[in-house]
Chains A and B, each alone.
Chain A
Amino acid sequence: MNKFETLTGIAAPMPLINIDTDMIIPKQFLKTIKRSGLGVNLFDEMRYDDDRNEIPDFVLNKPQYREAQILVAGDNFGCGSSREHAPWAIADFGITCVIAPSYADIFYNNCFKNGILPIALPQEQVDVLMKDAEKGANARMIIDLDAQTVTSSDGEVFTFDVDPFKKHCLMNGLDDIGLTMEKATSIDSFETQAAQSRPWV
């Protein structure tokens, strides 16, 4: 997994609440057996018309946001389906940080497995950053995971919370499975004990 330390980039504004994972990556793109290549279909139904032409009004089609690396969005981002294709598509597009007031649980966890930092900030602060993002390509935000700060293009600094373990894994690009396997003895002894107490499982 790619490490996430700091990021200075363009933020695309999407002032919509309840952006669901069906919107992020519609089901017709789930028929892949790979993790890569989904960026072109990120927000597909909002991004292209029936003839596969780009819809110019959609934020990621606008010239100033085509290279966006940060997405600023409304409440409850990533709700709905558990499809990890959603963070795969986001990362494949080149976005590695999302800023929103809140996230759906499964999506939030999925982000960390894919080198994406989902930042939750109070609505008022997201409102400020949304306005900042609306300024376009010249307004670059700075994300510092170690310091846990977002700095707007005006230099305004917001601090965010992140679970220390998730932060550690993201900063070091660590593979969860490898870490868990180091605890194999604990799993072994749990299994032995469970086989006694709940043999029907």
Chain B
Amino acid sequence: MSPKTLYDKIWDAHVAHEADDGTCLLYIDRHLVHEVTSPQAFEGLRMTGRTVRAPDKTIAVPDHNVPTTLDRANAATMTEDSRIQVEALDKNAKDFGIHYYPVSDVRQGIVHIVGPEQGWTLPGMTVVCGDSHTATHGAFGALAHGIGTSEVEHVLATQTLIQKKSKNMKVEITGKLRPGVTAKDITLSVIGVTGTAGGTGYVIEYCGEAIRDLSMEGRMTVCNMAIEGGARAGLIAPDEKTYEYCMGRPHAPKGAQWEAALQWWKTLYSDDDAHWDKVITLKGEDIAPVVTWGTSPEDVLPITAKVPAASDFEGGKVGAAQRSLDYMGLTAGTPLTDVEIDTVFIGSCTNGRIEDLRAAAEVLKGKKKKDGIRAMVVPGSGLVRAQAEQEGLAQIFLDAGFEWRLAGCSMCLAMNPDQLAPGERCAATSNRNFEGRQGRGGRTHLMSPAMAAAAAITGKLTDVRELM
């Protein structure tokens, strides 16, 4: 048998039909659904008299629109259009009989945090969702990617997707990370190298000692941003950490089925002599704590660097960099650590898990945010929130002057009331620094939870290593 990558193996196990031209019907094991990209798909089913083919493999949770303030049970906290979307999901979940975690359920949260937490996401699965950050689930060695609403409808109706196979890219992070360097710094640094289109047409497998050393939470952070590098999906081969994370979760297999699953999961790795279409290697020790300075996730620099000039770039990037500098209100040559911020946002599907909150709390413990800084922590799920309260993290955030919110996507995409004002500058643990992403005219600097916590204390972009 010819050697295969992990992607090849998962792909081969899910081809339900292959046409002569290589177009495949890929069977989907888990379909995650949220309120923003699904209403038109369910409407499409109703209009054509179709049903959901596999409701037991379809899981819905509202996350993008929901307020994260403590009074959200009061319907008045939502705008009418947001409420209509959430109510549409309530109704669609009920009408079509799919698994559902409503806003009132403690298990509600960001769909990419809820899936793994509830054991829906397991190694070797195909997972899709009408959301680009579905790549997150690749941390389990699941082939997971975002789809559009027409494809959501297609999966609802047929439990398959029409796909052509992507190419294989290996991203290896060798050796150990230095203190203060996290999974977020890895994933941003990789995008800094590849650019936001470097992964287009590929599925990335992340490997190497620094990846193996990461917890499952860290691995999810890495895979989450595979899409920001343009890749269809990011993957990490499952190992003991993966099995340990999955074991005992509500929807993970039990008993003999667990043993059977484990036996298969242990075959899910790239063969030694598998073919890679592209290979990128970074040394773990070369990765520094990083921040973004511009309006593309590829605009990454070590925190010790200075704001670049447009003339430092080539081709179309010259104009793009100038536009970014203007939008961000930055002057070339300014040390990044001189950039003052207004707001700190800790949360999102990239960094809203328990380990992220622990890392931020570690920096904030016994300290206070700088006066005048708006700071909020938005846990990724109700269960993350409960655990953080149990571990005393919530109290650390409150003592430091942070708002302690309920779960949701919140200021990552600012579809709910959590938004930046024009010109407001934010240290954010989310995944996109696009123009207007966190609110019209808002300025976003992406970084790790520890770095965001450090910025809250000093009021500036800060090298967290100086506070350690």
Chain A interface residues toward B at CB < 8 A: 15-18, 20, 22-23, 26-28, 30-35, 45, 50, 74-76, 79-84, 87, 102-106, 109-110, 113-114, 163-165, 176-177, 180-181, 183-184, 186-187, 190-191, 194, 198-201
Give chain A residues whose Cβ lies under 8 Å from the Cβ of B57: 201
Instruction: Please count the residue pairs between chain A and chain B whose beta carbons lie under 8 angstroms apart in the complex.
Output: 185
Q: Give the interface size class of chain B.
A: 35 or more
Some 16 contacts from A to B, beta carbons below 8 A apart, are A15-B316, A20-B432, A27-B413, A27-B414, A28-B415, A34-B43, A80-B228, A80-B434, A82-B147, A83-B148, A165-B23, A165-B162, A177-B50, A183-B25, A186-B17, A200-B252
B81 within 8 A of A: yes
Least Cβ distance of A112 to chain B in Å?
9
Contact B148 A110 (CB under 8 A): yes
Contact A45 B147 (CB under 8 A): no
Contact A113 B150 (CB under 8 A): yes
Known contacts: A102-B200, A186-B25. The answer to whether A177 contacts B153 by CB under 8 A is yes
Give chain B residues whose Cβ lies under 8 Å from the Cβ of A181: 157-158
Known contacts: A110-B148, A164-B21. The answer to whether A22 contacts B432 by CB under 8 A is yes
A104 and B323 alpha carbons, distance in the complex (Å): 21
B37 within 8 A of A: yes
Instruction: Determine the residue in chain A with the shortest Cβ distance to B229.
Output: A79
Give chain B residues whose Cβ lies under 8 Å from the Cβ of A33: 39-40, 43, 84-85, 88
Contact A31 B157 (CB under 8 A): no
Give chain A residues whose Cβ lies under 8 Å from the Cβ of B264: 198
A123 and B277 alpha carbons, distance in the complex (Å): 23
Least Cβ distance of A165 to chain B in Å?
5
Give chain B residues whose Cβ lies under 8 Å from the Cβ of A113: 148, 150-151
The B6-25 residues at the A interface (CB cut-off 8 A) are 13, 16-17, 19, 21, 23, 25
Contact B432 A106 (CB under 8 A): no
Give chain B residues whose Cβ lies under 8 Å from the Cβ of A103: 200
B130 within 8 A of A: yes
7 further contact pairs, Cβ within 8 A, besides A45-B440, A106-B145, A183-B25:
A79-B196, A105-B230, A163-B23, A163-B164, A180-B160, A181-B157, A187-B158
Give chain A residues whose Cβ lies under 8 Å from the Cβ of B467: none
Which residue of B17, B27, B84, B323 contacts A191 across the interface (Cβ within 8 Å)? B27
Known contacts: A17-B316, A33-B88. The answer to whether A180 contacts B158 by CB under 8 A is yes
Contact A180 B25 (CB under 8 A): yes
Contact flags B437-468 to A (C-beta < 8 A → 1, else 0) = 10010000000000000000000000000000
